[in-house]
Amino acid sequence: MSKPGSAKRQPQTGTRRFISGVVEGFYGRPWTMEQRTELFQREQTWGLNTYLYAPKDDYKHRMYWRDLYSAQEAEQLIVLISAAKRHNVEFIYAISPGLDITFSNPKEVAALKRKLDQVKEFGCRSFSLLFDDIETEMCPADKQTFSSFAHAQVAITNEVYQHLGEPETFLFCPTDYCAAFCTPSVPQSSYLHTVGEKLLPGIDILWTGPKVVSHKISVESIEEVSSVLKRAPVIWDNIHANDYDPQRLFLGPYKDRPSELIPKLRGVLTNPNCEFYPNFVAIHTLATWCKATADLTVSVLIRLGPPSPGDEEEDPCYSPQKALTLALTDWLQEFLSTDQPGGKLEVTSSMISKGSNGKFMCRLKKEASDEEPMQTDMGESSYVPGPDENPLYTAEPLTLDDLKLLSDLFYLPYEHGPTARTMLRELDWLKNHSQAATSETDKSAEWCSRAQRFDDMCDAVVQMFNRLSNAPNRRILYDLYNYICDIKSGVGLARAYVKTLGGQGQPAAQLMNDDPEPWGFRGGLSGEFQRMLPGHGNRDLFKHPPMTTVYCIRPYCPEDKVEVQRVFTEMQRTGEGRAPRTAQPPLICDSLSAGDISPSPQCALVMEDDAGICGYALALTDATPAAAKTQVIKKLISEEFPSLVTSQVLPRVTDPSPAKRMIGWLLSSIKSSGSRGVFCELRQGDRRMLDFYSKLGSFKTIQVSGLPQDIVAMGRTL
């Protein structure tokens, strides 16, 4: 066995393609061979190129990793690898020996090599070693050989990689595979530093982001971990994974990963829902994201008027909502199709043989699947009802709006879709203002109107359920059925409750009865345990009370000068950004905010709420003329940071999101002018804005000699 770090580093040559695709790495029932082949077809159609085979419940992938595959199992894998090649998808076989391997035992290493050699004979050319979700304590024998857990993993990985002939694609999953696992932090993690320094450069490293299931993955976080790992990571993305909660399904778009990440990554693999067919949206939108080009020269125009509900900082190259609509439009065609792709792959020993080169070859035979129950012919009925008889039931066709609603109800781990958020807000308002339902006040009309609106939304969910239940493609329906039944039940209870509040009929039995039917309450022992715990509900995505303030961000106009001065003066008076009594050089931002200097064209925004202007963001694309009389501040201006930005927001704005959006739009406009970077001047006493710029993540403190102690300069490149 090689000692830690003893393997020679080989220089990397050529440009390798961006890894993009799917990892089957969840806990639970693995996908069938038929479903995997159908996945390869989708990947080829959508421009993805990789499949990582890592199902946690394949015994011989993880628990019994030493065992070789039987003849029947080998036949299946040969067929699967051949199918991937036929669709130009790179099949990566992953093995996870970390549960019980003794790294220092040569027999263990030999068993690992023997297993991968067998898979190589099947036609596989790409491999992965996974050391995720395992104990970090080494056995006594390993402690005598290796100085750390990281050294042990790196040594065996390098040795296996070289034994296999240094494959072009070889992935390594560290035990600390996200920032949350790194002690004390990513830059200071001795484990990651060892991996980065000792792992051969041809081996790529998997990374899930800030957390196991990362809400957002920023460019800065990837640059940070890449510096430690000494290579760009491959993202193993769990944003659509649902194996940790059987009541959740995720049908929202791939989002909160800026397209600027693409050139900074080796690749992205999504580890999606356990259910195969609902992953259409997750994989389709990932494919759209992967096609986005992070062209920093793209100009982003400042939009007029308030942002759309649920809108975020704009990515000039990728729109999650547009990607979602595109995916749902394509998915609708599959729902309505009775010609279901895939088909059962029949594998027999007569189909597999060794060629003259000694490699296994496979001839594929595809048959109709017998996995689904019989579907009867839905031809026109010969029965014609009479004039006084019930009309024949006619199933309404599923619509794109139905699928948009479905996606909104089962969106993403950290957020509900727009319609779901609206329904929660309306129910919360109706419940808290229930006294207005039967009163003779002006509020009564509003309550009744909003109750009707809520009822219409609930009815839309029921109609969606009915149309989904009658969709021709039953395979998709069967994967969705438990989830849509559950949401239909929950919506039905809420609908009945609102009707009761409004005095429409007697209280619903399932709501008020001491002995309700089982479907009238959330069952299961796990649910009862959770309801008994003090923290139950504190991670609900819908917070109480809901945020109802609406902010409008628009371009600054000359008539706004007085109001901007008012905001600036008020913040000075309250001490935020106020100059100290001791003499200090004036700041350009003071003159800009006070109206003594005019902002550059298209580089000024104001933010309004119901009470009026409550914030602003102003900029000079070239701050040199304004700094001509200020030698200290003049030192800040360089080719790297030629532009200046200043911003203030009144304390009544407690939600940071609108201010972040305003700064994001302003920076986009500055970038479109050709500027390479911006800086801002802040006083030490302005803790609120110092904290705001720091939490943006992209602004960093600039060290300038001679700068007064009271002044802080921060900048960022564009």
Pairwise CA distance, residues 472 & 476, whole Å: 9
**Lowest-confidence pick of 53-57, 421-425, 604-608:** 53-57
Q: Which of 100, 117, 133, 455 is catalytic?
A: 133
- Whether residue 550 has pLDDT greater than 90: no
Question: If you search the block for the tokens 């900048």, which residue do you land on?
Answer: 715
Give the confidence band of 295 by pLDDT, cuts at 50, 70, 90.
very low
Kindly tell me if the per-residue pLDDT of 68 is higher than 70. Answer: yes
Does pLDDT of 250 surpass 50? yes
Confidence of residue 7 (pLDDT cuts 50, 70, 90): very low
pLDDT at residue 518 in the model: 63
Taking the C-alpha atoms of residue 96 and residue 128, their distance in angstroms, rounded to an integer, is 9
Task: Over range 193-198, report the average pLDDT.
Answer: 97
Residue length, the chain?
Answer: 718
Residue 74: is its pLDDT beyond 90? yes
Residue 206: DSSP 8-state: E
Least confident of 94-103, 197-206, 303-312: 303-312
Q: Is the pLDDT of residue 578 over 70?
A: no
Q: Is the pLDDT of residue 508 over 60?
A: no
- In 3D space, the residue among 472, 445, 485, 465 whose CA is nearest the CA of residue 405 turns out to be 465
pLDDT band at 350; cut points 50, 70, 90: very low
The torsion angles phi and psi of 24, rounded to 5 degrees, stand at -90, 85
Residue 560 to residues 290, 604, 660: CA-CA distances in angstroms?
42, 11, 21
pLDDT bucket at 562, cuts 50 / 70 / 90: very high
**What's the mean pLDDT in 111-118?**
97
* Predicted pLDDT of residue 298: 36
Mean pLDDT (the chain) is 83
Residue 560 falls in the annotated catalytic set: no
**Percentage above 70 pLDDT, the chain:** 80
- Asked if pLDDT for residue 264 goes beyond 50, the answer is yes
> Would you say 115 and 147 are in contact if contact means Cβ atoms under 8 Å apart?
no
Report field, pTM of the whole predicted structure over 0.75: no
pLDDT for the residue 380: 54
At 497 the pLDDT is 85
| The pLDDT of residue 358 | 52
Pairing of strands 267-270, 19-24: parallel
